[in-house]
Each structure stands twice: as structure tokens, then as C-alpha cells.
Amino acid sequence: MALAEDNNKRRPSRAPFSERAWPAVATTLKTLGSIAVTLVGLLFITFIIGRVMPIDPVLAIVGERASQSTYDAVYEQLGLDKPLIVQFLYYLWDVIHLDFGTSLLNARPVSEDIARVFPATLELATLGIIIGVTLGVPLGVLAAVRKGSWIDQVARVVALVGYSMPIFWLGLMGLLIFYGILGWVGGPGRVGIFYVDVVPSVTGLILIDAALDGNWDVFKNAFSHIILPASLLGYFSLAYISRMTRSFMLEQLSAEYITTARVKGMSEWNVVWRHAFNNIRVQLITVIALSYATLLEGSVLTEIIFSWPGIGSYITTALLSADMNAVLGGTVVVGLVFILLNIFSDLLYKVFDPRAK
């Protein structure tokens, strides 16, 4: 009896910390668990694809004129004599230790290669998405607010061109005009030939490394090289982001709580940005995260046109020379980026939408 009374007394007060903290811990564990399962699944699929492809990894190493004994030795060395599932477990074990094997092409560890090429893509994609978001979101909002006006029409044409123009054409034209004729920007590559390896590589992102080193000449040069490809990628994400922003905003602007805000006597600017915009943040995050992930995969064409040593051109080159370790390693990194971005946007949902809690 006494116990029951005690319980009743305690009920109105807040639960003790251990009880309140438990759901948070459980959610975190659940999230980590789902990351692990997704990653293993991804590894399994890429691994299997790598093994069933009609490419003989042994031949790629030893060459066609090697003797049978050499062939067999390498075959065993690669562990190809073991059952597929055992091979996969070995591979999993290596990947957990960040060992993606050795590139067949240059005999260097794939992880080192990725550590070199991924920052290049990261830098390009990040600047691209920043350009795309800072221009695309306001453009989309404006197009929705002034629906049917000339701004809306211009935004529509801008997006249509962004959707439909092939990037190799736009890239070449950009290079021709801004580099070849006007000379406003640096040409292909990350920095000019005189600036290569001038600043110590700390993060692998040249702009940041140069800023850390205080070497503003390198910074300026690197910036003049990155701005054109980043603007191009930014333009493509702008096309998508602005169209999506517009339709999200149109939906919210016709909602009844917008009328409420107007009835209160609120200015149109605040109605749009304080009320309507705050309601599209969740949807917008999904769109931006998706665009960013696409850019982080490495835009192969852009990287090739601008001789950008990123992960897109790395994987493509590796694929063309049957360098399966490099292909698998690159794919895993791209997959990991996708998973992390997804989780990050899930976290942001909970910040921006009280209903998601």
C-alpha cells in the first residue's frame, strides 16, 4: 500500500534522469545499428558485383604472358581459392580497418588514393552546393511569392536551361569564354602549375590549407580554378533546388495559417520568411541533402573537363582499367557519404519540425 501511495505522489513530477535519458540512448543505438546494417549490405553488394564481373583480377596483375605457377601463386595470394563468403568476411575485416586493398594500377593503397581524391571532390561539391542553395532557395521563394510575374518566368527558364543543357557543353563553353577569351578564371586543374604542393596538405582542401598557411597567393589561384566548375555544379543544383523550393512555398502560402499571420497585421516579408519558409525547411533539407550527395559522388563529366582530380574521375579511370579494389573502395566511400547525409538530415528534421519528435 505504502509503495502504491508513494508512486502516486511521484507521478506528477518529472521522471528521474535515467528514465528520461533511456529513449535518447535507444534512438542513438538504433541509428548506429541501422548505419552498420546498411553499410554491411552496401559492402556485400559491391563485393559480389566486383567478384561476378567477367574480369580476372589475377590476369590484370600478372599479365597475359605469366606462367601458370605465377598465376596460381597470385590467385592464392588474393585469397580467390577460398569460398566467396569467406572472401567477403576477409574483405569486411579489412574495410573495418580502413584497408581497401592495393590499387592494381599504381600499387598504392586505395585508402591513400581516396584520401587524396575525395577532398578534391568534397571541396568542389561543397562550394557548388553553397552556390546552389544561396541562389536557388531565394529564387524559388521569390518565384512562388510573385507567381506568374516576370521573375517567376525568368526563374523557370533559368531552371529549364539548368536541367536540359549537357554539362560537357556548358563546361567547355564556360572554359572558352571565361578562361580562354576573358581570362577571368584559372583553367583546368586545382591550382596553377607554379602553386602545386606549395602549401602543406592538412585537410586536403586547398582553399582551407592555403588559408591556414596564410598563403593568399595560393588561395587566390585555387579560388580562380575552382570557381568555374563550382559555379557550374551550383547552377545544376540551383535548377533543382529553386523548382522544389517554389512548389513547397506555393503549397505553404495557400495554407490557412498564412491567412492568420496576415490577419494579425504582419508584413508580407515576415509572412513569407517567418511563417511559410519555416514550414518548408524539412522538405528543403531533403532536397539539399540529395543534391549535395549527388555532387559528392563526383560529377564525372565536370571532373574530366576541368581535369579535377576528384573521386568521380578516379572511380571511372579505375573501372576502365579493371582496378576492382579501387572501384570498390570508391563505391564504399560514396555510399558512406549518402548514409551519413541521410542521417544528418534526419537529425535536422527533429530540430525543425516539432511533430517529428
Partner 1 sequence: MGTLLDVENLWVRFPSRNGVFDAVRGVSFSLGRERLGIVGESGSGKSMTGRAILRLIRPPGIVEADQISLDGVDLMKLSEKNMRAVRGQKISMVMQDPKFSLNPVMTIGDQIIEAYRLHNSTTKAQAYKKSLEMLEAVSIRDTERVMRAYPHEMSGGMGQRIMIAMMLIPNPEILIADEPTSALDVSVQRQVLDIMDTLVKERGMGLIFISHDLNLVSDFCDRVLIMYAGRIVEVCDADKLHKAQHPYTRGLLNSLPRLDVPRDRLAVLQRDPEWSVAPSVSARL
Q: How far apart are CA 27 and CA 33, in angstroms?
A: 10
**Minimum CB distance to partner 1, residue 279 (Å):** 6
Interface region with partner 1, contact rule CB under 8 A, candidates 51-59, 110-118, 193-201, 261-269: 261-269
Instruction: Show the CA angle centred on residue 352, arms to residues 349 and 356, nearest 5°.
Output: 55
Q: Report if residue 150 touches partner 1, rule: CB under 8 A.
A: no
Could you tell me if 251 and 282 are in contact, meaning their C-beta atoms sit under 8 angstroms apart?
no
Q: What are phi and psi of 109, to 5 degrees?
A: -60, 135
- Closest of 207, 214, 179 to residue 191, by C-alpha: 207
Q: How far apart are CA 143 and CA 164, in angstroms?
A: 20
Report the residue number, 106 or 267, with the smaller CB distance to partner 1: 267
Site size toward partner 1 (CB under 8 A) is 20
Report the residue number, 40 or 255, with the smaller CB distance to partner 1: 255
Return the C-alpha cell found at 25: 540512448
Burial class of residue 133 (count of CB atoms within 10 Å of its CB; 0-12, 13-18, 19+):
buried
CB atoms within 10 A of CB 25: 10
Instruction: Show the CA angle centred on residue 138, arms to residues 134 and 144, nearest 5°.
Output: 155
**Minimum CB distance to partner 1, residue 285 (Å):** 13
Q: Report if residue 134 touches partner 1, rule: CB under 8 A.
A: no
Q: How far apart are CA 306 and CA 183, in angstroms?
A: 15
Instruction: Find how far residue 142's CA is from the centre of its chain.
Output: 27
Interface region with partner 1, contact rule CB under 8 A, candidates 115-123, 198-206, 256-264, 288-296: 256-264
Q: How far apart are CA 302 and CA 231, in angstroms?
A: 11
**Minimum CB distance to partner 1, residue 135 (Å):** 25
Supply the DSSP symbol for 1: -
Residues in the chain: 357
Q: Report if residue 12 touches partner 1, rule: CB under 8 A.
A: no
Report the residue number, 197 or 256, with the smaller CB distance to partner 1: 256
Q: Report if residue 353 touches partner 1, rule: CB under 8 A.
A: yes
Site residues (CB under 8 A) for partner 1, limited to 159-178: none
Please state, in angstroms and as integers, the Cα–Cα distance from residue 306 to each residue in 122, 186, 187, 230, 326, following that order: 15, 10, 7, 10, 22
**Minimum CB distance to partner 1, residue 280 (Å):** 10
Contact pattern for partner 1 over residues 264 through 303, marking x by CB under 8 A: xxxx-------x--xx-x----------------------
Q: Report if residue 263 touches partner 1, rule: CB under 8 A.
A: yes
**Minimum CB distance to partner 1, residue 233 (Å):** 31
Q: Report if residue 20 touches partner 1, rule: CB under 8 A.
A: no
Interface region with partner 1, contact rule CB under 8 A, candidates 42-50, 70-78, 228-236, 255-263: 255-263
Contact pattern for partner 1 over residues 212 through 251, marking x by CB under 8 A: ----------------------------------------
**Minimum CB distance to partner 1, residue 249 (Å):** 14
Residues that bind partner 1 (CB under 8 A): 255-257, 259-267, 275, 278-279, 281, 352-355
